[in-house]
Structure 1
Amino acid sequence: MLIRPVPTRRRAARATALLAAATLVLAGCGGGEESSDGSGGGAEAQDVAAGERLEATWPLTGLPVGKGESAAQRHPVMVLKMDNTSSAAPQLGLGEADLVVEELVEGGMTRLAAFFYSEIPGTVGPVRSMRASDIGIVAPADAAVVTSGAAAVTIGRIKQAGITFFAEGSKGFFRDSSRSAPYNLFTDLVATTTLTDGAAERPSDYLPWGEESDLPAGQPARSLAASFSGSHTTSWTYADGGYTNTDTFAAQGDEFPADTVLVLRVPVGDAGYLDPAGNPVPETTLEGKGEAMLFHGGTLVRGTWTKPGLDQPLELSTRAGALSVPAGRTWIELVPTDGGSVTFAK
């Protein structure tokens, strides 16, 4: 089942902003010089400059686009809601995600929002339901959400936010008879993504990407533990240039290859309804500002995150100024300010 809300003005505004930015770059580079044939460089020069600006890197990783590829795809960012408990093991598809966000759900457990754009894998899952928390997570990417569904109140808020989503019954979804419900719902993401085919467009960068050399000096931190509650902790260790999730539920060889772990301390409130088991449903609000902890290269850089609106991009800073995330694959931990904790060791 496809739910496609009435489009918001956000995409049009973002396209206008990108066009304006590209125009400024071209104006700065053109210098009013004429080409050898007296044409002034014109449209061809503008096309090249705009293409270099918009298609040089992938929006969810900041990594260079390969030769012959384009970061302007005919599909939007696809965000798959994935269960993150032992009942979900083995999780399929995380190894090909560009970026992952982990968020608190009821019962003190967590759920993953796995972002796919540069690569669209086949079978992914288990697929689970959305939360209102997802609005602030997916809206900045103008993403389409792949989900089992959601509570009626959540669906109403997702529609109001102008977010497209595909629920069970849409193309690609299937039940794996070898697993127990509700942990047996999967989708062929390649098939589901064909439902979004449209004009080629590059989304805005999800994070402020930069180089490792841009990072300010940090403190040694080769392991960390992000505790969302008394029931769930996600642990990481650094070795061989990357971070390994030591308590992952991913299939062997299909783990997410994290170059950076970005921890954001976030406010968590009550979504205002109970799950089928009678547990209060929490709601993470990814808006405002809070403490940020950027783990990269075996070090920790402390800073602050700001996000003026649910559909606005995330900004990072230290006392010295803007903070960028080294290009690569990033796992974002949305750890509650109250009831959560983050520990690390050398």
Structure 2
Amino acid sequence: CQTASPPTATPSPSVQPTALANVPTNTPDATETAVPTMPPPPTAIPTTAAATPNLQDAATLTPATPTATIIGMIGPEPFPENINPLTGLPVSDPAILARRPIVVKVSNAPPIVRPQAGLNRADLVFEHYAEGGLTRFTAVFYTHDVSIVGSIRSARLIDFEIPHMYDAAFAYSGSSGPLRVRFQESDFFDRIISPDFGHGGFYRMEEEGKSFVHSLYTDTYTLRETLSERGQEVPPTLANHMAFREEPLYPGEPATRIELWYTGTNATWFYSNGRYLRWSDGEAHLEAYTGQQLTFKNVVVIAANHVNTDIIEDTNNSPSIEIQLWGSGPVSIFRDGQRFDGTWQRNDPNHMLTFYDQDGNMLPLAPGNTFFQIVPLGFDRLTITP
């Protein structure tokens, strides 16, 4: 497809110019015919920036009591019956919402596992630390089914939280011994689909350069058949809702480039044509079977407490990380090329994340798909360019 260089942004004085100043952009719905490239990232990792939110502990926030209906606001209560509660978009067939969301665990390390399959069709994607400084994806499929998704990887402690948020099924392969026991004893074990417990619906597709552990795939059609056989393909019971609005409630700070440096990988988002496009480790992050670059309407940076546990996850004796997605913490929402800072909240195991500004007013997402970047409290490797 045709690509064009985005307009050069003028960084705020304390933001170091990065190698993304001339990243080519593409039309979100066009199929890639050539992989966009960019120079390598700078050797010095930025640690502070004038436009970087302070991702420290957030004060307890009391949501404001609504006094009037906000024009154009979708949700949080009541939520329209024909609107997908995970995207704020209308559905073509109400039967779509009579199904259960499916959470799928997808690899993101080492870089050879990219491009992955199916991520652009997910309603929501979470990126989080696994261990050893590397990240992993947890994708939530509700609106769309996909004929292939993967590669499928092992579960982590965070996967006791995300399926609960959306009353979802959970597909994965592998876990440490203590987590396996916890999954068996969990209240959503009847919604788990995994080779760990002899479940079918997965297959191997070996590819050159990728090890055996990165060769497992599935599809949501087969997963839904399994749920139907168990009597679990039913509408989710959602305890709360997010809010959506076509336009922000008020102007935010300009944010056309977002760069996050995890310990072992980095992610960059560049705003173009109403969406954020993703680069990973200096390369355009593509979807495997369409060639499209990953593109999302919202990018949401969630800062949460990370605690190392005594559970060992790999042969390097890396501890399993408990990412505490409960209570509250700082959030930065990126939508429409703008940044909105506030607080995320989750006060019940069955609640999804909701977002509030500094005055306690609910912050709406743009209708569409959302990518959640989960980072530790005090995270200082986030750089934003207007």
TM-score (norm 1): 0.78
Task: Say whether 1:58 aligns with 2:58.
Answer: no
2:37 aligned partner: none
> Which of 142, 153, 161 in structure 2 is aligned with 1:128?
153
1:81 aligned partner: 105
> Which of 220, 239, 243 in structure 1 is aligned with 2:272?
239
2:308 aligned partner: 270
SS of the counterpart of 2:164?
helix
Q: Is the 8 A contact 2:97 2:143 kept in 1?
A: no
> Which of 101, 108, 122 in structure 1 is aligned with 2:126?
101
Query: Structure 1's 276 and 151: CA in aligned 2 closer, same or farther, altered over 3 A?
Result: same
Q: Is the 8 A contact 1:260 1:329 kept in 2?
A: yes
Cα deviation, residue 277, structure 1:
2.8
Cα deviation, residue 227, structure 1:
2.5
Task: Say whether 1:218 aligns with 2:257.
Answer: no
SS of the counterpart of 1:209?
coil
Cα deviation, residue 158, structure 1:
3.0
The one-character-per-residue Cα deviations of 1:294-320 (angstroms, maximum 9, x if unpaired) are 000111011011111333222211123
In 2, distance between residues paired with 1:205 and 1:84? 30
> Which of 282, 301, 312 in structure 1 is aligned with 2:340?
301
Query: Structure 1's 107 and 207: CA in aligned 2 closer, same or farther, altered over 3 A?
Result: farther
Q: Is the 8 A contact 1:59 1:205 kept in 2?
A: no
Query: Structure 1's 246 and 207: CA in aligned 2 closer, same or farther, altered over 3 A?
Result: farther
User: What is the RMSD of the two structures over their aligned residues, measured on CA atoms?
Assistant: 2.1
1:165 aligned partner: 192
In 2, distance between residues paired with 1:300 and 1:338? 18
TM-score (norm 2): 0.71
Query: Structure 1's 196 and 286: CA in aligned 2 closer, same or farther, altered over 3 A?
Result: same
Letter in 2 for 1:284: I
The one-character-per-residue Cα deviations of 1:157-215 (angstroms, maximum 9, x if unpaired) are 33444123111242220111334211111113311221112464255387512213243
Query: Structure 1's 250 and 72: CA in aligned 2 closer, same or farther, altered over 3 A?
Result: closer
Where structure 1 has 5 or more consecutive residues not aligned to the other structure, the ranges are 1-51
Stretch deviating more after TM superposition (298-307 or 308-317): 308-317
> Which of 200, 203, 209 in structure 2 is aligned with 1:174?
203
In 1, distance between residues paired with 2:112 and 2:211? 9
Task: Say whether 1:250 aligns with 2:284.
Answer: no
Letter in 1 for 2:84: W
Length, aligned pairs only: 292
The one-character-per-residue Cα deviations of 1:33-70 (angstroms, maximum 9, x if unpaired) are xxxxxxxxxxxxxxxxxxx965311122110112x443
Letter in 2 for 1:243: Y
In 2, distance between residues paired with 1:207 and 1:333? 20
Cα deviation, residue 339, structure 1:
5.3
Letter in 2 for 1:290: G
Q: Percent identity?
A: 28
2:173 aligned partner: 148
Query: Structure 1's 241 and 142: CA in aligned 2 closer, same or farther, altered over 3 A?
Result: same
Query: Structure 1's 153 and 174: CA in aligned 2 closer, same or farther, altered over 3 A?
Result: same
2:227 aligned partner: 196
Higher strand share: 1
Query: Structure 1's 343 and 161: CA in aligned 2 closer, same or farther, altered over 3 A?
Result: farther
In 2, distance between residues paired with 1:311 and 1:136? 8
1:260 aligned partner: 298
Query: Structure 1's 135 and 200: CA in aligned 2 closer, same or farther, altered over 3 A?
Result: closer
Query: Structure 1's 322 and 90: CA in aligned 2 closer, same or farther, altered over 3 A?
Result: closer
Q: Is the 8 A contact 1:94 1:254 kept in 2?
A: no
In 2, distance between residues paired with 1:187 and 1:108? 27
Cα deviation, residue 249, structure 1:
5.6
In 2, distance between residues paired with 1:120 and 1:170? 20
The one-character-per-residue Cα deviations of 1:119-159 (angstroms, maximum 9, x if unpaired) are 11111100001111122222111111110121121123334
